[in-house]
Amino acid sequence: EKGGFDHFMLKEIYEQPEAIKNTMLGRIDLDKNQIDFSQEGLDQKFLEGIQRFYIVACGTSYHAGLVAKYLIERELGLPVEVDIASEFRYRNPILDEKTLFIGISQSGETADTLASLRLAKEKGAKTLSICNVVGSTIARETEVVLYTKAGPEISVASTKAFSTQVLTFVLFTFYLKQLLFGENEKKQKIEALIKLPSQLKIFIEKVHSKVKTLAQKWYQAQNALYLGRNILYPIALEGALKLKEISYIHAEGYAAGEMKHGPIALIEEKVPTVILAAKETGIVYEKTLSNAEEVRSRRGPIISLVTEGAKEFQKISDEYIEVPLTFYEFLPIFYVVPLQLLAYEIATLRGCDVDKPRNLAKSVTVE
């Protein structure tokens, strides 16, 4: 059942190329260079009058929502709020019929996300969900559901659900650009999209051995910091969540620019900092580099994940992982993989029960 893998988590990490391929299936019209979600009820009529988005979720799904904020605001120029479901539902969130509420949930059964959806409905918002489990409660209770099609996710630590949620948002953004502004993506980008599964497959296999060696060196750490900016900031949060969830190492994800407002005090020889940066994609590479230099000058070990050929980082890093240079929109899908593998390898070395971490349930149906 684990298909030759030791754990479901590793199997599911390796299933990501296939999973994202399924997310795209039947939703891309190559001749027209377009994305199509109209079969799923997401059409001009449904979107009429929408002026803003409210994305609500928990845990890893919340991180996918944060990625979506960067994508949607950049590409569509419309405001996006993202919130944790257990906060949203006990506040007075401001939303109305001009708001599209988007609930994200792998299981479709998370109690707080479901309650948030019901609240959004009461307030008159239109509702959409991004779910993995077909026919789940959240899927049934939203007007439009976009399935991620990741296939069953057994491991408590969410992996392929995340990459498919992110990809669904990429497709969603491209599609709305067509519908609202009559703008198609460049052929080059759509072609890169089609090649994503095969490119990701090659990357996973290549990066895994590198991550294994790295894990050997760092698995005894007691604390770790994850830093990123822009669309890689939510990936830093996700990397930290994966590590703490399955290896029980205290890890914090932070926006790199926020480091000097507190977490810099944690830096010392025994606290590794994982830094995510990308060149040529418009996500403040130089600023992230100077954050790395600040860590270095305080003797903090640096594990960097950077796009190919970022020599400046290589010089100051203890460990260096290269990520393929791709379009802005596709960066999160590549960067999250080594972080999932790192958490997995470290947890295994520490003898943790990777698929069933202590105190956690796959689906949180109680509040």
Phi, psi of 213 (to 5 degrees): -65, -40
Minimum distance from residue 132 beta carbon to ligand M6R (Å): 8
**Identity of the residue, 103 or 300, whose beta carbon is nearer to ligand M6R in the bound complex:** 103
SS3 189: helix
Q: Note whether 364 binds ligand M6R by CB under 6 A.
A: yes
Catalytic residues: 362
Minimum distance from residue 326 beta carbon to ligand M6R (Å): 24
Using the contact rule CB under 6 A, the part of the chain among 6-14, 105-113, 272-280, 303-311 near ligand M6R is 105-113
Q: Note whether 110 binds ligand M6R by CB under 6 A.
A: yes
Q: Note whether 113 binds ligand M6R by CB under 6 A.
A: yes
Find the binder of ligand M6R among 22, 23, 105, 164 (CB under 6 A): 105
Task: Identify whether the C-beta of residue 99 lies closer than 8 Å to the C-beta of residue 52.
Answer: yes
Residue type, 77: G
Minimum distance from residue 65 beta carbon to ligand M6R (Å): 10
Determine the size of the site formed for ligand M6R (CB under 6 A). Answer: 16
Find the binder of ligand M6R among 99, 106, 281, 291 (CB under 6 A): 106
Residue at token pair 């403040």: 284
SS3 84: strand
**Identity of the residue, 245 or 329, whose beta carbon is nearer to ligand M6R in the bound complex:** 245
Using the contact rule CB under 6 A, the part of the chain among 65-73, 103-111, 184-192, 343-351 near ligand M6R is 103-111
**Identity of the residue, 64 or 292, whose beta carbon is nearer to ligand M6R in the bound complex:** 64
Stretch 125-164 residues interacting with ligand M6R (CB under 6 A): 156-158
Instruction: List, in sequence order, every beta strand (DSSP E) within the chain.
Output: 28-29, 34-35, 52-57, 80-84, 99-105, 126-131, 144-147, 223-228, 250-255, 273-277, 302-307, 319-323
Minimum distance from residue 183 beta carbon to ligand M6R (Å): 31
CB proximity list for 254: less than 8 A, separation 6 or greater: 225, 226, 227, 236, 263
Stretch 43-62 residues interacting with ligand M6R (CB under 6 A): 58-61
Minimum distance from residue 250 beta carbon to ligand M6R (Å): 16
Task: Identify which of 315, 336, 150 has the alpha carbon closest to the alpha carbon of residue 323.
Answer: 336
DSSP 164: H
Minimum distance from residue 313 beta carbon to ligand M6R (Å): 28
Task: Identify whether the C-beta of residue 103 lies closer than 8 Å to the C-beta of residue 57.
Answer: yes
Question: Which tokens in the block code for residue 38?
Answer: 């109209």
User: What is the DSSP track for 24-80?
Assistant: HTTSEETTTTEE--GGGT-SHHHHTT--EEEEEE-HHHHHHHHHHHHHHHHHH---E
Q: Which residue is nearest to ligand M6R (CB)?
A: 59
**Identity of the residue, 105 or 127, whose beta carbon is nearer to ligand M6R in the bound complex:** 105
Stretch 202-261 residues interacting with ligand M6R (CB under 6 A): 245
Q: What are the residues binding ligand M6R (CB under 6 A)? A: 58-61, 105-107, 110, 113, 156-158, 245, 360, 363-364
